[in-house]
């Protein structure tokens, strides 16, 4: 019977052509938008992980409570011991030190007077250690617009837009004004080794990147760090694993009343990312639902028209002894086959679009230039294994729903009228 249906679908183009076109369009849009949302979310999570949250982050309890203020006076100390312990307990994780700091950049003129000033968001990474993965992880070399990576603790990278605003040149000296972790003032001169653009407005506005040793010295944080970030060695965030590691770590300190005791947070528990990711999942669900609904209504209509066109065929089949439920279920089976064909075409088209969007993306920098949220300025689609299948849900479901609705008419057919209808 399947072969019989299959032949009908292949030979009767008006039975299959229009539904396949409708499904292909709907599935292609579903695939494209899903890949785009997946890309946007993955990029956002990835960027947050790389720059701010890690897959897990260790801070003092007090630092965690006031995190938005970057309270380096509450930073972790004796981090070498803590790092050793973490590497021993969780060898599947790569641990790194980070310091973030705020301050003022002063640009002197030739006579040493202030030529320009601006607030800076400082970031200290392990840049000079050849064993460190930080340069690669943060894609710093790729993000450098001009100049080069700092080669000494006396060099710094500054945000490209920031440099343009202050009219900075490579090789010029700048002075950082800020406070140490003990609350005293600190001044430090740096030579501009290059300008950088991370592709996230929140980072690029006033970025200043220095080596972690320079920051430790400048901020009086010997063997200290604001945060320790952990990255799973697989390179991919896995929430269950991160949550398990965090739980195991936190269990050790749960009875420690010291506000400087360390505490670990998985990525999803930071920056409201859990809500954001849940929201993204919900949006993806709503998107698929809307496509299923819209396509079902169109296919219902198409099914009704098809039902009129095939009115005689169903009459013949009833006369030949096919029962109404059998015809109905055969129509649904036919819908599944057509749904699959349309979904395959739609997925191919959607994947082609998603691939293009994965390479080129959409530049949203104009919209994010004032954003304080860490999000990429070019949103790219991301093709993941699920993208290959996601279109089949609305594709097959919509076709089946449309057919189920339109096929109900078969049950209303009166066999007693067949002799009159089949003339």
Partner 1 sequence: MKTETIISLENVTKRFPVGEGEFTALDHINLTFTKGEFSGLVGPSGSGKTTLLNIIGSLDVPTEGKATVIGHDIASLSHKASAKLRNHHIGFIFQVFNLLPVYTVFENVEFPLLLQNKTASERKKAVMEALDWIGLADYAKKKPNKLSGGEGQRVAIARAMVKRPEILIADEPTANLDAANAHSILKMMKKLNRELGTTFIFSTHDEKVMTYLERIIHLRDGKVELDERIKNKNQAS
- 321 vs 385 by CB, closer to partner 1: 321
Could you tell me the smallest distance in angstroms from the CB atom of residue 314 to partner 1?
11
Taking contact as CB under 8 A, which single stretch among the options 28-36, 136-144, 348-356, 414-422 is the one that binds partner 1?
A: 414-422
- 335 vs 375 by CB, closer to partner 1: 335
Rounded Cα–Cα distance for residues 173 and 191 (Å): 4
Could you tell me the smallest distance in angstroms from the CB atom of residue 413 to partner 1?
11
Do the bridges between strand 114-125 and strand 155-159 make them parallel or antiparallel, or are there none, so unpaired? unpaired
| Per CB under 8 A, 341 contacts partner 1 | no
| Per CB under 8 A, 422 contacts partner 1 | yes
Q: Could you tell me the sign of the dihedral formed by the alpha carbons of 399, 405, 411, 417, in that order? A: negative
> Which phi and psi angles does 91 have, rounded to 5°?
-70, -10
**Which listed residue (258, 278, 322, 363) binds partner 1 by CB under 8 A?**
322
HSE on the CB side for 18, CA within 13 Å? 12
Q: Which of 306, 241, 213, 328 is nearest to 20 (CA)?
A: 306
**Which listed residue (321, 370, 385, 412) binds partner 1 by CB under 8 A?**
321
Rounded Cα–Cα distance for residues 304 and 378 (Å): 44
Taking contact as CB under 8 A, which single stretch among the options 118-126, 142-150, 319-327, 347-355 is the one that binds partner 1?
A: 319-327
**Which listed residue (84, 139, 272, 323) binds partner 1 by CB under 8 A?**
323
| Per CB under 8 A, 412 contacts partner 1 | no
- 130 vs 321 by CB, closer to partner 1: 321
- 165 vs 326 by CB, closer to partner 1: 326
Give the ranges where 104-223 is alpha helix by DSSP (H): 134-137, 140-143, 160-165, 201-204, 212-218
Q: Using DSSP, how many helices (H) and how many strands (E) does the chain show?
A: 18, 14
Rounded Cα–Cα distance for residues 140 and 149 (Å): 8
Q: How far is CA 397 from the centre of its chain?
A: 27
Rounded Cα–Cα distance for residues 373 and 370 (Å): 9
- 289 vs 419 by CB, closer to partner 1: 419
Rounded Cα–Cα distance for residues 204 and 186 (Å): 24
| Per CB under 8 A, 324 contacts partner 1 | yes
Tell me, by CB under 8 A, how many residues bind partner 1: 27
H/E stretch holding 190: strand 185-196
| Per CB under 8 A, 409 contacts partner 1 | no
| Per CB under 8 A, 373 contacts partner 1 | no
| Per CB under 8 A, 148 contacts partner 1 | no
| Per CB under 8 A, 423 contacts partner 1 | yes
Return the residues of window 3-62 that contact partner 1 according to CB under 8 A. Answer: 4, 7-8, 11-12
**Which listed residue (212, 298, 318, 387) binds partner 1 by CB under 8 A?**
318
Return the residues of window 254-273 that contact partner 1 according to CB under 8 A. Answer: none
| Per CB under 8 A, 185 contacts partner 1 | no
| Per CB under 8 A, 408 contacts partner 1 | no
Q: How far is CA 206 from the centre of its chain?
A: 24
Could you tell me the smallest distance in angstroms from the CB atom of residue 395 to partner 1?
24
Give the ranges where 52-208 is alpha helix by DSSP (H): 61-65, 79-89, 134-137, 140-143, 160-165, 201-204
- 364 vs 418 by CB, closer to partner 1: 418
Could you tell me the smallest distance in angstroms from the CB atom of residue 408 to partner 1?
15
| Per CB under 8 A, 309 contacts partner 1 | no
Rounded Cα–Cα distance for residues 268 and 136 (Å): 23
- Bridge-partner residues for 121, per DSSP? 102, 207
Rounded Cα–Cα distance for residues 355 and 36 (Å): 10
Say how many Å lie between the first and final Cα of the chain, rounded: 27
| Per CB under 8 A, 217 contacts partner 1 | no
- 92 vs 305 by CB, closer to partner 1: 305
- 115 vs 317 by CB, closer to partner 1: 317
Return the structure tokens found at 387. 């993208």
On whether the CB atoms of residues 194 and 127 are closer than 8 A, the answer is no
Could you tell me the smallest distance in angstroms from the CB atom of residue 19 to partner 1?
16
Rounded Cα–Cα distance for residues 129 and 97 (Å): 12
- 360 vs 411 by CB, closer to partner 1: 411
| Per CB under 8 A, 337 contacts partner 1 | no
Q: Which residues lie near partner 1 (CB under 8 A)?
A: 1, 4, 7-8, 11-12, 312-313, 315-326, 415-416, 418-420, 422-423
């Amino acid at each position: 019977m399947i072969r019989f249906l299959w032949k009908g679908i292949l030979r009767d183009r008006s039975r299959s052509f229009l539904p396949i076109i409708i499904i292909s369009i709907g599935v292609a849009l579903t695939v494209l938008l899903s890949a785009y949302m997946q890309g946007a979310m993955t990029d956002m999570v990835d960027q947050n992980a790389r720059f701010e949250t890690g897959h897990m982050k260790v801070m003092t309890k007090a630092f965690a409570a006031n995190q938005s203020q970057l309270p380096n006076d509450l930073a972790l100390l004796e981090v070498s011991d803590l790092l050793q312990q973490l590497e021993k307990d969780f060898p599947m994780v790569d641990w790194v030190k980070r310091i973030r700091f705020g301050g003022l950049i002063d640009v002197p003129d030739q006579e040493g007077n202030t030529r320009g000033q601006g607030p800076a968001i400082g970031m200290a990474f392990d840049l000079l250690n050849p064993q460190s993965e930080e340069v690669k992880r943060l894609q710093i070399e790729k993000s450098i617009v001009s100049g080069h990576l700092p080669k000494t603790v006396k060099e710094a990278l500054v945000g490209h837009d920031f440099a343009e605003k202050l009219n900075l040149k490579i090789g010029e000296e700048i002075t950082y004004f800020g406070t140490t972790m003990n609350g005293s003032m600190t001044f430090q001169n740096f030579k501009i080794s290059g300008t950088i653009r991370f592709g996230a407005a929140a980072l690029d506005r006033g970025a200043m990147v220095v080596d972690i040793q320079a920051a430790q010295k400048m901020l009086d944080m010997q063997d200290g760090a604001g945060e320790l970030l952990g990255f799973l060695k697989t390179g991919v965030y896995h929430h269950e694993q991160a949550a398990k590691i965090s739980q195991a770590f936190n269990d050790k300190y749960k009875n420690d009343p010291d506000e400087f005791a360390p505490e670990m947070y998985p990525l999803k528990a930071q920056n409201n990312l859990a809500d954001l990711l849940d929201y993204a999942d919900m949006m993806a669900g709503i998107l698929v639902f809307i496509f299923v609904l819209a396509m079902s209504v169109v296919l219902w209509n198409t099914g009704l028209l098809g039902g009129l066109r095939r009115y005689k065929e169903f009459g013949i089949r009833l006369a030949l002894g096919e029962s109404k439920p059998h015809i109905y279920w055969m129509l649904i089976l036919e819908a599944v086959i057509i749904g699959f064909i349309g979904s395959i075409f739609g997925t191919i088209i959607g994947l082609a679009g998603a691939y293009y969007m994965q390479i080129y993306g959409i530049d949203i920098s104009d919209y994010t230039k004032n954003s304080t949220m860490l999000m990429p300025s070019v949103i790219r689609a991301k093709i993941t294994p699920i993208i290959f299948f996601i279109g089949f849900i609305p594709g097959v479901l919509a076709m089946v729903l449309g057919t189920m609705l339109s096929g109900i008419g078969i049950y209303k057919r009166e066999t007693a009228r067949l002799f009159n209808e089949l003339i």
